[in-house]
Amino acid sequence: MSVTGRSGALPPSRPTSDGVRRVRLIGVGPGDPDQVTLEAVRAMREVDFFVVSDKSGAGADDPLVAARERLLQRHLDGPARVVRVDDPVRERRPDRTSTDAEYAEVVASWHEARAAAFEQALLGNDGDAGFLVWGDPAFYDSTIRVVEQVRDRGRVPLAIEVVPGISSIQLLAARHAIVLHEVGRAMHVTTGRRLREAVESGQDNVVVMLNRDLALEGLDDWWIWWGADLGTPHEELVAGRLGDVRADIDAARDRAKAAAGWVMDVFLLRKVAP
Ligand SMILES: C[S@@+](CC[C@H](N)C(=O)[O-])C[C@H]1O[C@@H](n2cnc3c(N)ncnc32)[C@H](O)[C@@H]1O
Protein backbone atom coordinates (compact mmCIF):
# COMPACT_ATOMS: atom_id res chain seq x y z
CA MET A 1 0.00 0.00 0.00
CA SER A 2 1.34 3.42 -0.83
CA VAL A 3 1.28 6.20 1.73
CA THR A 4 0.75 9.80 0.72
CA GLY A 5 2.74 12.52 2.42
CA ARG A 6 1.50 15.73 4.01
CA SER A 7 -1.46 17.46 2.42
CA GLY A 8 0.93 19.66 0.48
CA ALA A 9 2.28 16.55 -1.28
CA LEU A 10 -0.74 16.41 -3.60
CA PRO A 11 -1.56 19.27 -5.91
CA PRO A 12 -4.74 21.08 -4.89
CA SER A 13 -6.14 20.76 -8.40
CA ARG A 14 -8.07 17.71 -9.56
CA PRO A 15 -8.05 15.17 -11.04
CA THR A 16 -4.32 14.56 -10.95
CA SER A 17 -2.57 13.87 -14.25
CA ASP A 18 -2.76 10.12 -13.67
CA GLY A 19 -6.54 10.37 -13.07
CA VAL A 20 -6.26 9.79 -9.34
CA ARG A 21 -9.10 11.36 -7.37
CA ARG A 22 -8.31 13.09 -4.11
CA VAL A 23 -10.53 12.18 -1.17
CA ARG A 24 -10.20 14.03 2.10
CA LEU A 25 -11.50 12.56 5.34
CA ILE A 26 -11.91 15.58 7.54
CA GLY A 27 -12.27 15.22 11.31
CA VAL A 28 -14.78 17.86 12.38
CA GLY A 29 -14.91 17.43 16.14
CA PRO A 30 -17.78 16.11 18.23
CA GLY A 31 -20.45 18.71 17.53
CA ASP A 32 -19.32 22.27 18.28
CA PRO A 33 -18.45 24.18 15.08
CA ASP A 34 -15.80 26.03 17.12
CA GLN A 35 -13.96 22.76 17.70
CA VAL A 36 -12.79 22.40 14.13
CA THR A 37 -9.13 22.96 13.35
CA LEU A 38 -7.89 25.53 10.87
CA GLU A 39 -6.52 22.66 8.78
CA ALA A 40 -10.00 21.12 8.64
CA VAL A 41 -11.55 24.44 7.59
CA ARG A 42 -8.97 24.77 4.84
CA ALA A 43 -9.73 21.24 3.64
CA MET A 44 -13.49 21.93 3.71
CA ARG A 45 -12.93 24.98 1.54
CA GLU A 46 -10.78 23.09 -0.94
CA VAL A 47 -13.00 20.13 -1.75
CA ASP A 48 -15.54 20.24 -4.56
CA PHE A 49 -18.29 18.28 -2.87
CA PHE A 50 -19.07 16.50 0.37
CA VAL A 51 -20.33 12.97 0.67
CA VAL A 52 -22.65 12.76 3.66
CA SER A 53 -24.11 9.50 4.94
CA ASP A 54 -27.70 9.80 5.97
CA LYS A 55 -28.00 7.10 8.61
CA SER A 56 -31.68 7.32 9.31
CA GLY A 57 -32.90 7.90 5.78
CA ALA A 58 -34.59 10.93 7.34
CA GLY A 59 -32.70 13.44 5.17
CA ALA A 60 -32.73 16.92 6.67
CA ASP A 61 -34.47 15.53 9.75
CA ASP A 62 -31.44 13.46 10.68
CA PRO A 63 -29.90 15.48 13.54
CA LEU A 64 -26.35 14.41 12.67
CA VAL A 65 -26.76 15.34 9.01
CA ALA A 66 -28.17 18.68 10.17
CA ALA A 67 -25.17 19.15 12.50
CA ARG A 68 -22.76 18.61 9.61
CA GLU A 69 -24.69 21.08 7.48
CA ARG A 70 -24.43 23.69 10.24
CA LEU A 71 -20.68 23.14 10.24
CA LEU A 72 -20.50 23.79 6.52
CA GLN A 73 -22.65 26.91 6.77
CA ARG A 74 -20.38 28.21 9.48
CA HIS A 75 -17.07 27.55 7.77
CA LEU A 76 -17.72 28.00 4.06
CA ASP A 77 -18.30 31.30 2.29
CA GLY A 78 -20.97 29.93 -0.02
CA PRO A 79 -23.31 26.98 -0.28
CA ALA A 80 -21.72 23.56 -0.13
CA ARG A 81 -22.30 20.85 -2.69
CA VAL A 82 -23.54 17.97 -0.57
CA VAL A 83 -24.04 14.51 -2.03
CA ARG A 84 -26.20 12.50 0.32
CA VAL A 85 -25.79 8.77 0.44
CA ASP A 86 -28.39 6.63 2.16
CA ASP A 87 -26.49 4.64 4.71
CA PRO A 88 -27.14 0.93 4.12
CA VAL A 89 -29.23 -0.53 6.91
CA ARG A 90 -27.09 -2.34 9.42
CA GLU A 91 -28.26 -5.40 11.34
CA ARG A 92 -28.50 -4.34 14.99
CA ARG A 93 -30.72 -7.00 16.51
CA PRO A 94 -28.89 -8.31 19.60
CA ASP A 95 -29.70 -11.94 18.74
CA ARG A 96 -27.96 -11.52 15.35
CA THR A 97 -24.84 -9.83 16.70
CA SER A 98 -24.22 -11.54 20.01
CA THR A 99 -21.02 -13.42 19.16
CA ASP A 100 -17.84 -11.73 17.96
CA ALA A 101 -18.04 -13.69 14.70
CA GLU A 102 -21.63 -12.55 14.00
CA TYR A 103 -20.76 -8.98 14.87
CA ALA A 104 -17.69 -9.02 12.60
CA GLU A 105 -19.74 -10.45 9.73
CA VAL A 106 -22.49 -7.85 10.12
CA VAL A 107 -19.95 -5.02 10.18
CA ALA A 108 -18.04 -6.43 7.18
CA SER A 109 -21.16 -6.59 5.02
CA TRP A 110 -22.24 -3.13 6.14
CA HIS A 111 -18.81 -1.77 5.17
CA GLU A 112 -19.06 -3.46 1.79
CA ALA A 113 -22.47 -1.92 1.14
CA ARG A 114 -21.19 1.48 2.26
CA ALA A 115 -18.17 1.15 -0.04
CA ALA A 116 -20.49 0.46 -2.98
CA ALA A 117 -22.61 3.51 -2.09
CA PHE A 118 -19.55 5.77 -1.72
CA GLU A 119 -18.18 4.47 -5.01
CA GLN A 120 -21.41 5.50 -6.76
CA ALA A 121 -21.20 8.95 -5.19
CA LEU A 122 -17.62 9.36 -6.44
CA LEU A 123 -18.40 8.03 -9.91
CA GLY A 124 -21.38 10.36 -10.23
CA ASN A 125 -19.60 13.56 -9.22
CA ASP A 126 -16.43 15.22 -10.50
CA GLY A 127 -13.68 16.72 -8.42
CA ASP A 128 -12.19 16.30 -4.97
CA ALA A 129 -14.49 14.71 -2.42
CA GLY A 130 -14.65 15.48 1.27
CA PHE A 131 -16.08 13.29 4.00
CA LEU A 132 -16.92 15.03 7.27
CA VAL A 133 -15.96 12.57 9.97
CA TRP A 134 -17.37 13.03 13.45
CA GLY A 135 -14.72 13.65 16.11
CA ASP A 136 -11.42 12.22 14.95
CA PRO A 137 -11.31 9.66 12.10
CA ALA A 138 -8.99 7.41 14.13
CA PHE A 139 -11.45 6.57 16.91
CA TYR A 140 -14.29 4.14 16.33
CA ASP A 141 -15.10 5.36 12.87
CA SER A 142 -14.79 3.24 9.76
CA THR A 143 -14.71 5.93 7.11
CA ILE A 144 -10.99 5.36 6.51
CA ARG A 145 -11.51 1.60 6.13
CA VAL A 146 -14.53 2.01 3.87
CA VAL A 147 -12.86 4.55 1.58
CA GLU A 148 -9.85 2.22 1.40
CA GLN A 149 -12.26 -0.48 0.23
CA VAL A 150 -13.54 1.86 -2.48
CA ARG A 151 -9.95 2.39 -3.61
CA ASP A 152 -9.26 -1.34 -3.51
CA ARG A 153 -12.34 -2.12 -5.65
CA GLY A 154 -10.32 -0.45 -8.41
CA ARG A 155 -13.03 1.48 -10.28
CA VAL A 156 -12.03 4.87 -8.85
CA PRO A 157 -8.30 5.45 -8.31
CA LEU A 158 -8.09 7.37 -5.05
CA ALA A 159 -5.53 9.30 -3.04
CA ILE A 160 -6.80 9.34 0.55
CA GLU A 161 -5.86 12.10 2.98
CA VAL A 162 -6.91 12.30 6.62
CA VAL A 163 -7.27 15.56 8.54
CA PRO A 164 -7.38 14.97 12.31
CA GLY A 165 -10.16 16.30 14.46
CA ILE A 166 -10.88 16.77 18.15
CA SER A 167 -12.28 13.55 19.52
CA SER A 168 -15.15 13.25 21.98
CA ILE A 169 -12.59 11.60 24.27
CA GLN A 170 -10.55 14.79 24.37
CA LEU A 171 -13.62 16.93 24.90
CA LEU A 172 -14.74 14.72 27.79
CA ALA A 173 -11.36 15.23 29.47
CA ALA A 174 -11.43 18.98 28.84
CA ARG A 175 -14.95 19.46 30.18
CA HIS A 176 -14.14 17.61 33.40
CA ALA A 177 -10.68 19.20 33.52
CA ILE A 178 -9.00 15.83 34.02
CA VAL A 179 -6.12 13.83 32.63
CA LEU A 180 -7.47 10.56 31.24
CA HIS A 181 -4.86 8.42 32.99
CA GLU A 182 -2.89 8.59 36.19
CA VAL A 183 0.76 9.65 36.22
CA GLY A 184 2.76 7.37 33.95
CA ARG A 185 -0.09 4.82 33.80
CA ALA A 186 -2.04 3.35 30.91
CA MET A 187 -5.43 4.20 29.55
CA HIS A 188 -7.63 1.60 27.94
CA VAL A 189 -10.15 2.72 25.32
CA THR A 190 -12.95 0.35 24.44
CA THR A 191 -16.64 0.05 23.61
CA GLY A 192 -19.60 -0.50 25.91
CA ARG A 193 -19.86 -3.95 24.41
CA ARG A 194 -16.35 -4.84 25.62
CA LEU A 195 -16.27 -3.02 28.94
CA ARG A 196 -17.03 -6.11 31.00
CA GLU A 197 -14.19 -8.10 29.45
CA ALA A 198 -11.82 -5.15 29.96
CA VAL A 199 -12.62 -5.00 33.68
CA GLU A 200 -12.36 -8.77 34.01
CA SER A 201 -8.94 -8.70 32.39
CA GLY A 202 -7.71 -6.24 35.01
CA GLN A 203 -8.10 -2.85 33.31
CA ASP A 204 -8.73 -0.24 35.96
CA ASN A 205 -8.81 2.97 33.92
CA VAL A 206 -11.14 2.62 30.98
CA VAL A 207 -12.57 5.10 28.47
CA VAL A 208 -15.81 3.84 26.97
CA MET A 209 -17.39 4.84 23.66
CA LEU A 210 -20.33 3.41 21.73
CA ASN A 211 -22.17 2.76 24.92
CA ARG A 212 -25.63 1.21 24.73
CA ASP A 213 -26.66 1.26 28.36
CA LEU A 214 -25.06 1.73 31.72
CA ALA A 215 -25.26 -1.88 32.83
CA LEU A 216 -22.21 -1.55 35.02
CA GLU A 217 -23.00 -3.95 37.84
CA GLY A 218 -20.31 -4.49 40.41
CA LEU A 219 -18.58 -1.19 39.70
CA ASP A 220 -20.42 1.02 42.16
CA ASP A 221 -17.22 2.01 43.94
CA TRP A 222 -15.46 3.04 40.74
CA TRP A 223 -15.35 6.70 39.78
CA ILE A 224 -17.02 7.86 36.60
CA TRP A 225 -16.58 11.01 34.52
CA TRP A 226 -19.45 10.96 32.05
CA GLY A 227 -20.57 13.29 29.27
CA ALA A 228 -23.32 13.29 26.67
CA ASP A 229 -23.89 15.36 23.54
CA LEU A 230 -20.65 17.16 24.32
CA GLY A 231 -20.05 20.36 22.42
CA THR A 232 -23.74 20.89 21.73
CA PRO A 233 -26.20 23.20 23.50
CA HIS A 234 -27.61 20.10 25.20
CA GLU A 235 -24.36 18.89 26.70
CA GLU A 236 -24.65 16.97 29.97
CA LEU A 237 -21.87 16.18 32.45
CA VAL A 238 -21.89 14.01 35.56
CA ALA A 239 -18.96 12.89 37.74
CA GLY A 240 -18.72 10.96 40.97
CA ARG A 241 -18.80 7.55 42.55
CA LEU A 242 -20.79 5.42 40.15
CA GLY A 243 -23.09 4.05 42.83
CA ASP A 244 -23.97 7.60 43.85
CA VAL A 245 -24.47 9.15 40.42
CA ARG A 246 -26.08 6.37 38.39
CA ALA A 247 -29.55 7.92 38.68
CA ASP A 248 -28.14 11.36 37.77
CA ILE A 249 -26.63 9.88 34.61
CA ASP A 250 -29.91 8.21 33.64
CA ALA A 251 -31.78 11.49 34.13
CA ALA A 252 -29.15 13.48 32.22
CA ARG A 253 -29.24 11.01 29.36
CA ASP A 254 -33.05 11.34 29.16
CA ARG A 255 -32.79 15.15 29.16
CA ALA A 256 -30.22 15.13 26.33
CA LYS A 257 -32.32 12.74 24.28
CA ALA A 258 -35.47 14.81 24.78
CA ALA A 259 -33.73 18.11 23.97
CA ALA A 260 -31.55 17.07 21.03
CA GLY A 261 -33.38 14.06 19.64
CA TRP A 262 -30.18 12.00 19.93
CA VAL A 263 -27.79 11.08 22.63
CA MET A 264 -24.16 10.03 22.41
CA ASP A 265 -22.20 9.52 25.57
CA VAL A 266 -18.62 8.80 26.47
CA PHE A 267 -17.08 8.23 29.86
CA LEU A 268 -13.99 7.40 31.87
CA LEU A 269 -14.29 4.75 34.58
CA ARG A 270 -11.50 4.47 37.12
CA LYS A 271 -11.04 2.10 40.03
CA VAL A 272 -10.05 4.29 42.93
CA ALA A 273 -8.35 3.28 46.14
CA PRO A 274 -10.94 2.90 48.93
C1 LIG B 1 -18.99 6.13 15.94
S2 LIG B 1 -18.15 6.72 17.36
C3 LIG B 1 -17.30 8.08 16.68
C4 LIG B 1 -16.25 8.64 17.60
C5 LIG B 1 -15.54 9.85 16.99
N6 LIG B 1 -14.72 9.47 15.86
C7 LIG B 1 -14.68 10.58 18.01
O8 LIG B 1 -13.48 10.74 17.81
O9 LIG B 1 -15.26 11.04 19.00
C10 LIG B 1 -19.47 7.44 18.21
C11 LIG B 1 -19.23 7.45 19.72
O12 LIG B 1 -18.38 8.54 20.04
C13 LIG B 1 -18.80 9.16 21.23
N14 LIG B 1 -19.23 10.54 20.90
C15 LIG B 1 -19.15 11.13 19.70
N16 LIG B 1 -19.57 12.40 19.75
C17 LIG B 1 -19.93 12.62 21.03
C18 LIG B 1 -20.43 13.76 21.72
N19 LIG B 1 -20.66 14.90 21.10
N20 LIG B 1 -20.67 13.63 23.05
C21 LIG B 1 -20.43 12.46 23.69
N22 LIG B 1 -19.96 11.36 23.08
C23 LIG B 1 -19.71 11.43 21.77
C24 LIG B 1 -19.93 8.30 21.77
O25 LIG B 1 -19.37 7.31 22.60
C26 LIG B 1 -20.49 7.68 20.53
O27 LIG B 1 -21.17 6.48 20.80
Domain topology for 168-270:
3.30.950
pLDDT by 10-residue block (mean), the chain, 274 residues: 40 58 96 95 96 68 75 93 86 75 83 93 95 96 96 94 98 98 96 93 96 81 96 95 95 93 94 83
Evaluate: CB of 266 within 6 angstroms of ligand 1.
yes
Q: Distance, CA 168 to ligand 1 centroid (Å)?
A: 5
Of ligand 1's listed atoms, the one at least distance from the Cα of 231 is 19
DSSP the chain: -----SGGGS-SSSS-TT-PEEEEEEE-BSS-TTS--HHHHHHHHH-SEEEEEESSS-GGG-HHHHHHHHHHHHH-SS---EEEEEPPP----GGGS-SHHHHHHHHHHHHHHHHHHHHHHHHTS-S-EEEEESB-TTSS--HHHHHHHHHHHSSS-EEEEEE----HHHHHHHHHT--SS-TT---EEEEGGGHHHHHHTT--EEEEES------TT-TTSEEEEEESTTSTT-EEEEEEHHHHHHHHHHHHHHHHHHHS---EEEEEE----
* Topology agreement, domain 7-163 and domain 168-270: no
- pLDDT at residue 13, as a whole number: 41
Break the chain into its structural domains and give their ranges: 7-163, 168-270
Evaluate: CB of 139 within 6 angstroms of ligand 1.
yes
Evaluate: CB of 131 within 6 angstroms of ligand 1.
no
Give the CATH superfamily of 7-163: Tetrapyrrole methylase, N-terminal domain (3.40.1010.10)
Residue nearest atom 16 of ligand 1, based on CA coordinates: 30
- pLDDT at residue 6, as a whole number: 43
Evaluate: CB of 229 within 6 angstroms of ligand 1.
yes
